Structures are given as C-alpha cells and as structure tokens.
Amino acid sequence: MEFSVFTGQANEVTADCLVVTLDQSGALSASAAAVDSASNGFIKARVDEGDIKGAPGKTLLLPAVSGIAARRVLLVGSGEGEASTVTAGKIVQAVAASVASIKGRIAVDLTALASEKFPQAWWAEQLVLAIHAAQYRFTATKPEKEEAPKADALTWIGEDVTTALTIADAKGLGTSWAKDLGNMPPNICTPTYLAEEAERLSDEAGFSCRVYDESELDAMGAGAFVSVSKGSVEPGKIIIMEYKGAGDEAPHMIVGKGITFDTGGISLKPGAKMDEMKYDMCGAASILGTMKTIAELKPAINIVAVITSAENMPAGNASKPGDVVTTLSGQTVEILNTDAEGRLVLCDALTLAIGEYKPQTCVDVATLTGACMAALGKVNSGLFTEDEALATELLSAGQYSGDRVWRLPLEEDYQAGLDSNFADMANIGGPLAGATTAACFLSRYTKDTRWAHVDIAGPAWGGDGTSKNSTGRPVPLLTTYLLNKAS
C-alpha cells in the first residue's frame, strides 16, 4: 500500500473516499465541519435527518458533493467521550470494512479520536492492519474469479505518522502470510513445505536457516519429538532461522508449534471438525509471519526463530499411551495421551535452540490446549511466565496491538500434576488446570532462561463452515513485542 500525509483542510484532499468522524451527540469533527462548510451544510443535513447518529462504528457513505475534492465521503460515528479499546476496535474495523473495496486512494482523518492512550500513530497502525484484514482472501486453492477492487493508497490527514504506517503495513503483510499458511490444506502444508517456505524467506531476506530432519533428530536423542513424528510418512523437521540486526548481542528467541495435522495419534480425536486440526500449526505460521515483518522492517535486534513441525498420525509405529521416551534434555516422559503431542515436539526444540543460542528471552507460541480455549475463549491468548518483566512486556504489546493475552498461573504447586510412577514426568496432568500443567511441562525445559509460553488455541482461527479462517494471531503481538525490544 502507498502512504502519504496531508496537513491541509480535509475538503481539499484528492481521494476516492474521504473518512471523517462525528460523535454521538452529532457534533462534527474539525474535518467533518470543513467538509460541511465547503458543501453548504450537506453533512449537517444528513445528521439532522437522522441518517447517522454517531454511535461507535456506525458509518454512512455519501456520494460526491460539490465543493469537496474527494469522490465520496464516509461519515463514521465515534461514540461518546474518549474511546476505549473495544470502541476503538469497532471504529477502525468499520472504517476498514467500508473502504477496503473502494478502488484507489483513501484519505482518513481520525485526529478527533486521538488521545494520550490512543495517539494518532496508534490509530494509523490499527487502521492499516484492519484494511489488510478486510482485504484478505485465501486464493491458493480457490482463486477468485475476478480480482476484487481494493484501496491501494492511504492519505493520513494530521500528524506525520509515516513510521507507524510503514510498520503497520509490514505487520499486515506478515499477518496475511500467516493466515495463508494456516488456511493451507494439510496435504500441501506439511513439515517439508514449512521448511521450504522458511528457506525461501531466508534466502530473500538474508537470514540464516538450518533445518534438522527427523532422522538427524532421532540420532541426536530427541526422543520426544520423534515419538510424535514417527507415526507419519511425512518426516518431521525443526527449523531454525536467524536474523542479525544488532551485532553480537544475545538474541531474542521465538518458538512456534507446527503440527501440520493432528489426528490425536493413537488417542484419536473425534471425527467431527477434525479438518480444523490443520490449524494446529498456527504457532509455526505466526513465527514465519513475524519473520516476514522483520524482513520488511530490519530492526536493530537479533532474533532466533524456531519452528518445530510434524504430523501426529495413528500409524502402526506411532507412540502408544504408556510409552516412555527420553527427551533431548535427558529427562524421561511417560506418554499418557498421544494427543498431548505439542509439548513433546516443543520440549526438544526448546532444549536444542536454547542450548545452541543462549537467548536473552524466549517466547513460545502454540495451539496447545483446549483447556486454555475453555478458559479464555477466542478473545485472549493465555500467557504463562514466572518472569514479571517479560509478562509486563507481553501484556503491554498485546494491549497496544489489540492481539491480547491474559496471564494465567504458573505456580510450583501445579507441577505435582505431572508426577509419574515410571518416568521423570507424564505428558499430561489430571482433568483440571490443563493449560497450566502443559505450561509446567514446558517450564522444565527452559530453566535459567527468561521464558514465556503463549497458548493461542482459542484465537488462532475462528468461524465455522464457510466463515472458517486463520486469524494470523499472534503476529501482531510478537512483532510489537520484538520491535519494542529493538527500540
């Protein structure tokens, strides 16, 4: 998308659509008033007639009016008083939905909504992300019959927010790619496909990329990983990408679970909605999407991105409930449920990558537990960490980006739920606190590392039937967090 900043009167800006606001009392913003004055009261007449009342997110699209340079005017309600996170989201989504399919240039003035909490740069970033989301279409296996018209240029009326617009565009590109990967059918998006995509991006961006295949990991002693991957004809992979933007500093690490299809293994899932288990690699997709954003922006930070990928299938050589395996760390695990496979592939990837790179921080993201989705639904991802500073950074990044997380407990008392008579630990706890016991399991492989776990089981995809879609989360969270680290 092409960006520019305009500091003149809104009625003078040339655009295919001009966006201005009014509040719930009917009071026009400065730009809306300028448009109204130039059009001899056309805007105020629409308000007086009750065509729009200013409720948050409500819109009214008007045709060209004499005295206004723009071809259309979109009136947007801003509600009453200072915007909250919820109303701000409604407003930008409404604007994006209205203008995304208007071909050409969009000019937007949201300055009346800016506040200390939500400055103009924030509004600009959220608007661009919302336009990316509104324009997103999955076409890899179902091409559009004809290309839909779309806005391809944005003029921001107000402060110079060029940096925010550029960052938002890069985040939007990364999020859309993560959506593509998540939506891809599992017969195409295999561990090998993810490795090839990582190598392609690395070649384009100048990252280093190392792919460990299943046989190599088996020889290394990654018994937990192999216990999952061995049941499929698709060989598992651990993929490590490295971006160096800050000299010799220790890197920040991001890790994603990439189970490209999860049947549950021998602990077979029910058949209904099993197709949704192609989304069990959305953690990996978000890591790739984040690295695409990093490739666009080239921030001053060192990043190691890790993807641990396999299929979980119920073959004759698949792991059985009751099996005991030895992880790369040397700890043993009793596999009580083969459907708790995400933590098994993650633990060996964490051991491998933390041992190799000694990161400053490590954040893993995974569609790990239905228990987390039961607790938080589709709104917040679950955040687990004992590091208070890291928790604050991730919570702040989630609030700013709108890709929110909610902190859940990770206390020592929960560790006993993983006790086993036959191994150092079991791979599941009891029927309660399943999201926390899963995080407890991973914590045993991240000791002496500033580490956080983000369970994205709820927010990673949404909808049902023909509305089913990957969300691209948590790309906005991760990119905001890493860019804050860089700044």
**Would residue 164 count as lying in a domain?**
no
Range 43-67 average pLDDT: 91
Residue ending a domain, among 158, 184, 200, is 158
Catalytic residues: 269, 343
* pLDDT tops 80 at residue 19: yes
Whole-angstrom Cα distance, residue 258 to residue 263?
Answer: 14
Task: Convert the pLDDT of each residue in 102-153 to its tens digit.
Answer: 999 999 999 999 999 999 999 999 999 999 999 999 999 999 888 888 999 9
Range 404-420 average pLDDT: 98
**Would residue 163 count as lying in a domain?**
no
Indicate which CATH number applies to the domain containing 408: 3.40.630.10
pLDDT of res. 65:
80
**Would residue 165 count as lying in a domain?**
no
pLDDT of res. 375:
98
pLDDT of res. 160:
97
* Average per-residue pLDDT for the chain: 96
**Would residue 413 count as lying in a domain?**
yes
Residue ending a domain, among 132, 158, 184, is 158
Are residue 256 and residue 401 in the same domain, yes or no? Answer: yes
Are residue 190 and residue 152 in the same domain, yes or no? Answer: no
Residue ending a domain, among 158, 190, 211, is 158
pLDDT of res. 254:
99
Are residue 414 and residue 472 in the same domain, yes or no? Answer: yes
pTM: 0.97
pLDDT of res. 466:
86
* pLDDT tops 90 at residue 64: no
Range 457-463 average pLDDT: 96
Are residue 124 and residue 236 in the same domain, yes or no? Answer: no
**Would residue 168 count as lying in a domain?**
no
pLDDT of res. 145:
83
* pLDDT tops 90 at residue 310: yes
Are residue 140 and residue 198 in the same domain, yes or no? Answer: no
Domain with 68, as residue range(s), is: 2-158
Are residue 282 and residue 389 in the same domain, yes or no? Answer: yes
Are residue 85 and residue 182 in the same domain, yes or no? Answer: no
Are residue 108 and residue 191 in the same domain, yes or no? Answer: no
Are residue 178 and residue 303 in the same domain, yes or no? Answer: yes
Are residue 318 and residue 402 in the same domain, yes or no? Answer: yes
* pLDDT tops 80 at residue 487: no
**Would residue 83 count as lying in a domain?**
yes
Query: In which band, very low, low, confident or very high, does the pLDDT at 291 lie, cut at 50, 70 and 90?
Result: very high
Indicate which CATH number applies to the domain containing 76: 3.40.220.10
Are residue 478 and residue 347 in the same domain, yes or no? Answer: yes
Range 436-442 average pLDDT: 98
pLDDT of res. 434:
98
Domain count, the chain: 2
Task: Convert the pLDDT of each residue in 171-184 to its tens digit.
Answer: 999 999 999 999 99
Are residue 179 and residue 137 in the same domain, yes or no? Answer: no
pLDDT of res. 146:
83
